[in-house]
Amino acid sequence: MPLYCKQCEERRYPLYNTNDKETLWLCNKCQNYTDADDVIIREQTQEERDEIKAKAEEFERTSNFSGEKLSRRKGVN
Ligand SMILES: [Zn+2]
């Protein structure tokens, strides 16, 4: 399993893709998908980025986390 990106060595995340009917591995840093053989399938589309961002924001709202990405300044706990 391509758990770590071979380009930037970031952790990858498995995402089930309903169009392709298989699980692809997403690197948030490189913003591309690989299959289980670590072959890059395609780049992440803007639409998918927005979707993931929207889900993340909803998750933050519902789980009441204080961390709001890197755009928020540090120092406030
Ligand atoms: Zn990467």
For the chain, the domains span 12-63
pLDDT the model gives residue 22: 86
pLDDT the model gives residue 73: 63
Going by pLDDT thresholds of 50, 70 and 90, the confidence category of residue 21 is confident
Q: Which residues are in the CB-under-5-Å shell of ion ligand 1?
A: 5, 7-8, 10, 27, 29-30
Q: Is the pLDDT of residue 33 over 70?
A: yes
**What gap in Å lies between CA 65 and CA 20, rounded to an integer?**
33
Task: Give me ligand 1 centre to Cα 70, in Å.
Answer: 18
**What gap in Å lies between CA 31 and CA 33, rounded to an integer?**
7
List 17's β-bridge partners, or say none: 22
pLDDT the model gives residue 14: 92
Q: By the 8 A CB rule, do 32 and 43 touch? A: yes
Q: By the 8 A CB rule, do 2 and 36 touch? A: yes
R_g (Cα) of the chain, nearest Å:
14
What's the whole-number mean pLDDT along residues 39-66?
Answer: 88
pTM (two decimals): 0.64
